[in-house]
Structure 1
Amino acid sequence: MNKYRLYLVTDEHQDIEALTFVIKEAIAGGVTMVQIREKHGDIRAFIQRAMVIKALLLNTGIPLIINDRIDVALAVDADGVHLGQSDMPADIARRLIGPNKILGLSVENETQLEHAQSLPIDYLGISAIFPTPTKTDTVYTWRIDGLSKAVKSSKLPLVAIGGINKENIQTVAQTHVAGIALVSAICHAQSPKIACEELNQLIG
């Protein structure tokens, strides 16, 4: 199974009740990976949220990824970590989490994409494909042409993120990208389960 196929990134502004609802629904709808993103909360709150989601994912085969924080990933024994360009260097992160955990890295331009090919990571999050309100500091958008070129040039699996929704996900999938990550299209759906089912159908 392609674990990157339908990759849910959580909305840090949802409380634990809303988050629990989204995760349960997304599991039922066929999500294949879950990343917890917490940019503003304190570390105890982050660990608490991670423990709740880890319990929901138990025995589902869906990996739990922690955004940015190696300490939180180690504290809850998550399946992996996703780093940004200003986070801990990938080689140090790999040493800390060991060889068997999943390690992802965001790349935001072609230079970063090229440099990342030699790093000890499992996949790259390619961001942002389209402009998105979820990420306000975007400098560069890849668009479909840029994503297609990146897929052809990268030896590492790529996960596309940023501004992807039901209207454009089919076009994104046609680039043969390994995975597609979404925040709003799942987290803010009335039924995240139905949203995931529809998105999976559109991916094909």
Structure 2
Amino acid sequence: MPKVNYRLNALVDARLGDGDHLAGLARVAALNGATLIQYRDKTNATRTMIEQARAIGAALADTGVPFVVNDRVDVALAAGANGVHLGRDDMDAAMARSIMGDTAIIGLTVKNEADAEAAIASPIDYACIGGVYETLSKHNPDPPVGLLGFARLRAALLAAKPDLPVGAIAGINAPRVAEVVAAGADGVAVISTIFAASDPAVATRELRACVDGALKEAAR
């Protein structure tokens, strides 16, 4: 049985605010339907990242929702996070597994066929394909894979790892959930759809309902 429920991965980006604010946003998302929280920070010093990650962990402690740290195995370990999400330029997933242990959650970004092959060969708990659409949340030198590209990469992963949860990321909002799930997604990863909304709690509930509905329809 998969270790990770990837229905709704809420990415708490450091650009959204300071540690206490980020922790509060993470808690709101977790209490309203997010199934995984990811802390992403591309700019702050390591000490600050650890402090913010610890604050997020404390805010989530009674929610039952796990959280992972983007890119940084050292920060994840120091903060007591549940795991780490790795990209192509980060630590090798097998090395991360050897350091973090079998109970850690390890996710991997997949952008192309080479990434898919790496994911198949790696001891990971989920993969996230994208960007599927254009996004303003992150500078991405790679063009969007689109729905057809997502479906192709998802099929390659499914053939080798049929139980691996696979999410979709980038430019995903409520109206797009049905089409990415129809293309094979087990869930979605978002930032602005939740955290740029006027009411993140409502936005989280609405997006989770869309994911649940789309998965139910896909299972028919």
If the length of structure 1 is used for normalisation, what is the TM-score? 0.93
SS at match of 2:9: strand
Question: Which residue of 23, 42, 45 maps to 2:26?
Answer: 23
- Over 3 Å counting, the alpha-carbon distance change for 1:24 and 1:122 in structure 2 is closer
Matched, 1:184 2:186: no
Measured at CA, do residues 70 and 115 of structure 1 come closer, stay the same or move farther in structure 2, by a change above 3 Å?
closer
1: CA distance, partners of 2:24 / 2:82: 21
In the TM superposition, residue 171 of structure 1 has moved relative to its aligned partner by 1.2
Deviation at 1:73, TM superposition (A): 0.8
Return 34-43 or 160-169, whichever deviates more. 160-169
Root-mean-square deviation (Å): 1.6
Quote the residue 1:197 is aligned against.
205
8 Å CA contact 1:25, 1:192 repeated in 2: yes
Q: Deviations over 1:65-116 (max 9, x none)?
A: 0111111111122111011100111111111101110111111112211232
Where is the helix percentage greater, Structure 1 or Structure 2? 2
Q: How far apart, in 2, do the equivalents of 1:91 and 1:71 lie?
A: 15
Aligned in 2, Cα 1:194/1:144: closer, same or farther, shift over 3 Å? same
Distance 1:87 1:61 in 2: 27
Deviates more, 1:186-195 or 1:132-141: 132-141
Q: What percentage of aligned pairs have identical amino acids?
A: 37
What is the correspondence of 1:24-173 to structure 2 with a 5 Å cutoff?
Answer: 24-154=27-157, 155=161, 156-173=164-181
Per mean C-alpha deviation after superposition, the further-off stretch among 153-162 and 190-199 is 153-162
1:7 counterpart residue number:
9
Structure 1 match to 2:218? none
5+ residue gaps, structure 1: none
State the shift of 1:57 in Å: 0.7
Instruction: Give SS of 1:10's match.
Output: strand
**What stretches of structure 2 of length at least 5 have no aligned partner?**
214-220
Amino acid at match of 1:7: N
Deviation at 1:3, TM superposition (A): 1.6
- 1:169 is paired with a residue of what secondary structure? helix
One-letter identity of the residue aligned with 2:116:
L
In structure 2, C-alpha distance between the alignment counterparts of 1:59 and 1:29, rounded to whole Å: 13
Contact 1:107–1:113, Cα closer than 8 Å, also in 2 = yes
Matches of 1:142 and 1:39, distance apart in 2: 23
Paired residue type of 2:89: S
Q: Which has the higher mean CA deviation after the structures are superposed, 135-144 or 40-49?
A: 135-144
Cα distance in 2, alignment partners of residues 138 and 177 from structure 1: 23
Output the TM-score relative to the length of structure 2. 0.87
